[in-house]
Structure 1
Amino acid sequence: MLIPQLQKLLTTPINQKSRHNRYRFTVIFWYILSLTFAIAYILIGLQKAFSSKYIVSDDAREYISWMYRYINPDLFPGDLIADYFQSVTPIGYGILYKIIAALNIDLILFSKIFPILLGLITTSYCFVLCMEILPVPIVGFIASLLLNQSLCMHDDLFSATPRDFIYPLFLAFLYYLIRSSRFGILIVLALQALIYPLIAFIELLILLMRLFRWQNGQITISQNRKDFILFTASIMIAGIVILPYAIQSSQFGPTITAAVARTMPEYWHGGRFSYFSHNIISYWFDGRDSGFFALISPPQLLLGLLLPIILKFKSHFFLTKELKDEVKLLLQTAIASLIMFFIAHALAFKLHWPSRYTHHTFKMVLAVAAAISIILILDATLRWSRENGKQILIFGTIIILGAGLVFYPSNFSLKVFPKTPYVVGQAPTLYDFLQKQPQNIVIASTSEEADNIPIFAQRTILVGKEYALPIHTKYYAQFSKRMLDLINAQYSEDINQIKDFIQKYNVTFWLLERSAFVPEYIAKNTWLQQYQPAARQAKTKLQNNSLPVLATLINSCTVFETDNLVLLKAECIKFATKN
């Protein structure tokens, strides 16, 4: 009796008739369990988010800093960094935060709590999508469990950036596509194009592929006029939504070419983007920005690769007869993603990083395919055990399998789970000091702590490691020039050079690390090493015991200091030139 009961609980399909009877409870149970795990993972991740006042997601510093202009339009006047990231922020994402600012909700606080809602929406659409493909409730639970584990192993849910919206929107798109809800498809496509346009290209390709049918070894065109109307409407909506964003972001363009990028240390190992690699397998397979199979984890997702094999041997898997024809949507998604992946490589870097077209969609496809594969195999195994009397063995196997899926994140092999990309500001008193200064001040610094100033103090920095994106040529040309001038001035023995630098960039304060004037500071700083020959020359000077002018002015011009940071007033430095 044990095996039949397990089979009824775990692998019995919910058909149209049973949905109105006792099986409704089964659906609700597995759905609530799915939400429970999602909430648990998110709440664990958010513990760090609220562990300090000055803590924020790493990439949120790029997107949210400039948005304080919504609250105070006078912030960041003439700020190259703020202007650039405002131009590359998707329009829909900017509108969302504009609404939040208008509601008087703190932007950083919102960025921390919004993953809860996104996680619940993602889980819900994942669950109902699975029910449309294979109406066995536990499939929805396993798929959402694997997907949530995957999201929490990378910064795909807590990043406070547009990519957090990919998963709920794309899963919603697939769901409405299966349900033939044209209104739902168009709404979700519009939102995707507004918030993360890259995935909208994949959705358009899927709609294009569905205009064709594979029958009897031949490709035929759909005879349904509504399919063409839907595709045409989708093209028009995507074009209307994406075009303004393309124009907006082009003011700092064009994008850098692959040929030029190959000559830049920023695009190799240790650079801002480790895009290129001498290992061709890594470059195409698992490179973070270049590989089509990048950041695919947990390994249980790879069970999804078994689904095509299982479907080749349907006669051995009784439950496959309950599998809906729309399972082909998983394959269509994978094909569309790969097409965009290779197009992005061919047009590098006009369509951003190629891996963005497969990294996210593959996770969703594999999570659903893995869940289906597991249940098809489980059902076949249960049926076999009923015939061969291996009930105890099968029962033990199910317990081990379930425990492995549920408790995988607590496995010793995962050092951190959930992986949250939060950074903690190390100089709260510095942020407080700068907030009391005029809004038009400019801080020059090679310290990584400068990255936190725009988000926590809402003041302009000249450069910052976090903002050193070598993508758009007009932006990065200015940024690189600033970096070269800053390094040259910071380690100069000529005070007139420093004075010219301050005047050229209207520098108000100079933030220094006390360790900045030893050779190791430059030698071990991979970011500074990208800016040659300035970094090399500065290192040589320090090795020759040269004493930069700024080092001699620390005692006389410091207006604020912490353990390892000193803030020099530029006016004091300029005054020192007159003596």
Structure 2
Amino acid sequence: MLIPQLQKLLTTPITQKSRQNKSRLTVIFWYSLSLTFGLGYIFMGLRQAFSSKYIVSDDAREYISWMYRYFNPDLFPGDLIADYFQSVTPIGYGIIYKRIAALDIDLTFFSKIFPIVLGLITTSYCFVVSMEILPVPMVGFIASLLLNQSLCMHDDLFSATPRDLIYPLFLAFLYYSIRSSRLGILIVLALQCLIYPLIGFVDLLILALRLFRWQNGQITISQNRKDFIFFAAAMMIAGIVILPYAIQSSQFGPAITAAVARTMPEYWDGGRVSYFSHNIMSYWFFGRDSGFLALISPPQLLFGLLLPIILKFQSHFLLTKQLKDEVKLLLQVVIASLIMFFTAHALAFKLHWPSRYTHHTFKMVLAIAAAISITLILDATLRWSRQNGRQLLILGTIMIFGAGLVLYPSSFSLKVFPKTLYVVGQVPTLYNYLQKQPQNIVIASTSEEADNIPIFAQRTILVGKEYALPFHTKYYAQIRQRMVDLINAQYTEDINQIKDFIQKYHVTFWLLERSAFIPEYITKNTWLQQYQPAAQEANAKLQKALPVLATLINSCAVLETDNLVLLKTECIKAAIKT
């Protein structure tokens, strides 16, 4: 009797003939369980987020720093970095934070709690989309469980960047597509294009694919005139919404070409982007920015690849009779994503990184497909055991497999879960000191600690590794020149070269690491090594004599920590005159 009861609990579909109250309770149970795990993972991340006063998501430094202009428009005056990231921030994402600033809520604080909202919406839509395809509540639970595990393994909800909103919006798009809610589709499409325009292209391709039907081994096109009117409306809305963003970000364009990128160390292993690789498998399959299977995990998602095979042998999996025709939407997502992936490769880098078109959508498709596959296999196994015995073996196997799904985040294979990539500011005294300085100061530094200054002190830095994105030519040409000039000035023996550098960039403070004047500081620093021949020349100079700047540390330091020294350039210029 145990097996029939287990089958009834786990794999019985919710149909119109089911008793309403009992069906509702079953759905509520599995949905509540889905939310429990989803929110549980997020709160584990929040524990990291609030473990220190000076802590922020790694990529949030790029997007949120400039947004403090919403509180004070005079911040970051003439700041190249702030102006650039303001221009490339999608309009809709900026509006969200502008509204939060209007409520006088700290933006860094909001970025830490926002995943709660995103997690609730993502889990909810994942659950209902799964049930729309196979109306078994456990499918919704497994799909949301796998998706939430996947998102928490790659900071896809904790990054405080526009990509965090891909998942709730795209799942909403799938839901309204299944429900044939044209108004819902258009609203979500507009929001997607406002917040993460790249996925808007995938949405449009999916709508285009849904104009075609596969019948009797032939492809036919819709004869409904309203379908084409709706598609034209979607195209128009996407164009209207994306155009202002394209114009806004073009002031720092155009995007660098693939031919030029191949000549730059920034695009190879150890570089800021690491796009290209001599390993073909890595480049096309697993490269973070170039591969179509980039960052696909956990391995349980691969169960989704079994779904096409199962559908070929439906006679062995009786529950497939409950599969809705909208299962084809999963294939349409894959096709649309791959089209954009290869198009982005062909037009590199006009449509940004190719992996952005598959990394996110594949995770959602595989999570749903894996949940369906697991449920179909489980149902077939339970049916087989009822006829052939061995119930204890089957029960044991199911319990072990279920425990593996649920407990995977705590397994030894995962060193960190959730993976939030939060960055902890190590020098509060530095941030407090700089925050008390005038708003128009500029800090020059080759230290990675400079990356934290804009977000924690709201002051301008000349360059920073985190902000040195070699994507738009007009922006990166200036960043590269600044970096070369900074390296040359920091390691020069010519006093006048330091003076010219300070005057050229209006540098107010110079932040140095105490180890900056030993050769290993340059030779082992992958960021500095990207800027040749300046790095090699600086290393050669260190072998011969101590740079001028090193001799001014004791006399011009205004703040010192264990590893950092902050020099005031007024003192440096005064020393130069004497």
TM-score range, shorter chain: over 0.9
Specify the alignment match of 1:51 in structure 2: 51
The CA deviation string for residues 516-557 of structure 1, in whole angstroms up to 9 with x for no partner, is 00000001100000001110011111123x110110000111
Listed as ranges, the matches of 1:114-193 within 5 Å are 114-193=114-193
Extract unaligned runs of 5+ from structure 2. none
RMSD of aligned alpha carbons: 0.7
Listed as ranges, the matches of 1:391-402 within 5 Å are 391-402=391-402
Specify the alignment match of 1:567 in structure 2: 566
Specify the alignment match of 1:244 in structure 2: 244
**Structure 1 contact 305–369 (Cα < 8 Å) conserved:** yes
Quote the offset at 1:19 in angstroms: 5.9
**Structure 1 contact 14–136 (Cα < 8 Å) conserved:** yes
Listed as ranges, the matches of 1:251-270 within 5 Å are 251-270=251-270
Specify the alignment match of 1:551 in structure 2: 550
**Structure 1 contact 149–409 (Cα < 8 Å) conserved:** yes
The CA deviation string for residues 253-278 of structure 1, in whole angstroms up to 9 with x for no partner, is 00000000000000000000110000
Read off the aligned partner of 1:276 and give its amino acid letter: F
> Is the aligned partner of 1:33 residue 2:33?
yes
Specify the alignment match of 1:86 in structure 2: 86
Read off the aligned partner of 2:522 and give its amino acid letter: I
The CA deviation string for residues 174-207 of structure 1, in whole angstroms up to 9 with x for no partner, is 0000001111101100000000000010000000
**Counterparts of 2:546 and 2:7 in 1: how far apart (Å)?**
78
Identity across matched positions, percent:
85
Of 224-233 and 533-542, deviating more is 224-233
**Structure 1 contact 18–24 (Cα < 8 Å) conserved:** no
Specify the alignment match of 1:200 in structure 2: 200
Specify the alignment match of 2:224 in structure 1: 224
Specify the alignment match of 2:312 in structure 1: 312
Specify the alignment match of 1:484 in structure 2: 484
Specify the alignment match of 1:105 in structure 2: 105
Read off the aligned partner of 2:13 and give its amino acid letter: P
Extract unaligned runs of 5+ from structure 1. none
**Structure 2 contact 45–418 (Cα < 8 Å) conserved:** yes
**Counterparts of 1:445 and 1:110 in 2: how far apart (Å)?**
29
SS for the counterpart of 2:13 is: coil
> Is the aligned partner of 1:431 residue 2:445?
no
**Structure 2 contact 155–418 (Cα < 8 Å) conserved:** no
The CA deviation string for residues 396-430 of structure 1, in whole angstroms up to 9 with x for no partner, is 11101110100011100100011111000011010
Specify the alignment match of 1:344 in structure 2: 344
Specify the alignment match of 2:407 in structure 1: 407
**Counterparts of 2:196 and 2:227 in 1: how far apart (Å)?**
24
**Structure 2 contact 156–164 (Cα < 8 Å) conserved:** yes
**Counterparts of 1:51 and 1:178 in 2: how far apart (Å)?**
42
**Structure 2 contact 178–326 (Cα < 8 Å) conserved:** yes
**Counterparts of 1:430 and 1:21 in 2: how far apart (Å)?**
61
> Is the aligned partner of 1:538 residue 2:538?
yes
Quote the offset at 1:279 in angstroms: 0.6
**Counterparts of 2:263 and 2:200 in 1: how far apart (Å)?**
32
Quote the offset at 1:226 in angstroms: 2.4
**Counterparts of 1:308 and 1:556 in 2: how far apart (Å)?**
72
SS for the counterpart of 2:263 is: coil
Read off the aligned partner of 1:164 and give its amino acid letter: D
Read off the aligned partner of 2:518 and give its amino acid letter: V
**Counterparts of 1:577 and 1:304 in 2: how far apart (Å)?**
67
Read off the aligned partner of 1:131 and give its amino acid letter: M
Read off the aligned partner of 1:409 and give its amino acid letter: P
**Counterparts of 1:191 and 1:19 in 2: how far apart (Å)?**
38
**Structure 2 contact 112–158 (Cα < 8 Å) conserved:** yes
Aligned length: 578
Quote the offset at 1:225 in angstroms: 2.4
**Counterparts of 1:131 and 1:225 in 2: how far apart (Å)?**
30
SS for the counterpart of 1:478 is: helix
**Structure 2 contact 189–203 (Cα < 8 Å) conserved:** yes
Specify the alignment match of 2:210 in structure 1: 210
**Counterparts of 1:566 and 1:309 in 2: how far apart (Å)?**
63
Specify the alignment match of 1:359 in structure 2: 359
Read off the aligned partner of 1:252 and give its amino acid letter: F
Listed as ranges, the matches of 1:6-17 within 5 Å are 6-17=6-17
**Structure 1 contact 65–82 (Cα < 8 Å) conserved:** yes
**Counterparts of 1:155 and 1:289 in 2: how far apart (Å)?**
16
Read off the aligned partner of 1:222 and give its amino acid letter: S
**Structure 2 contact 129–175 (Cα < 8 Å) conserved:** yes
**Structure 1 contact 122–167 (Cα < 8 Å) conserved:** yes
TM-score, normalisation: structure 2: 0.99
**Counterparts of 1:555 and 1:204 in 2: how far apart (Å)?**
61
**Counterparts of 1:471 and 1:19 in 2: how far apart (Å)?**
58
The CA deviation string for residues 368-398 of structure 1, in whole angstroms up to 9 with x for no partner, is 0000000100101111100011211111111
Specify the alignment match of 1:440 in structure 2: 440
Specify the alignment match of 1:503 in structure 2: 503
**Counterparts of 1:95 and 1:543 in 2: how far apart (Å)?**
52
The CA deviation string for residues 66-92 of structure 1, in whole angstroms up to 9 with x for no partner, is 001110000000000000000000000
- Runs of 4+ in structure 1 deviating by more than 4 angstroms, as ranges, are none
Read off the aligned partner of 2:38 and give its amino acid letter: A
**Counterparts of 2:462 and 2:226 in 1: how far apart (Å)?**
54
SS for the counterpart of 1:21 is: helix
**Structure 1 contact 14–135 (Cα < 8 Å) conserved:** yes
**Counterparts of 2:197 and 2:179 in 1: how far apart (Å)?**
23
Read off the aligned partner of 1:47 and give its amino acid letter: R
**Counterparts of 2:375 and 2:19 in 1: how far apart (Å)?**
20
Quote the offset at 1:229 in angstroms: 1.9
Read off the aligned partner of 1:202 and give its amino acid letter: V
The CA deviation string for residues 100-125 of structure 1, in whole angstroms up to 9 with x for no partner, is 11110000000000001100100000
The CA deviation string for residues 307-344 of structure 1, in whole angstroms up to 9 with x for no partner, is 00000000110000000000000000000000000000
SS for the counterpart of 1:547 is: coil
**Structure 2 contact 285–293 (Cα < 8 Å) conserved:** yes
**Counterparts of 2:517 and 2:282 in 1: how far apart (Å)?**
38
Read off the aligned partner of 2:567 and give its amino acid letter: L
Of 213-222 and 166-175, deviating more is 213-222
TM-score, normalisation: structure 1: 0.99
**Structure 1 contact 112–158 (Cα < 8 Å) conserved:** yes
**Counterparts of 1:140 and 1:500 in 2: how far apart (Å)?**
64
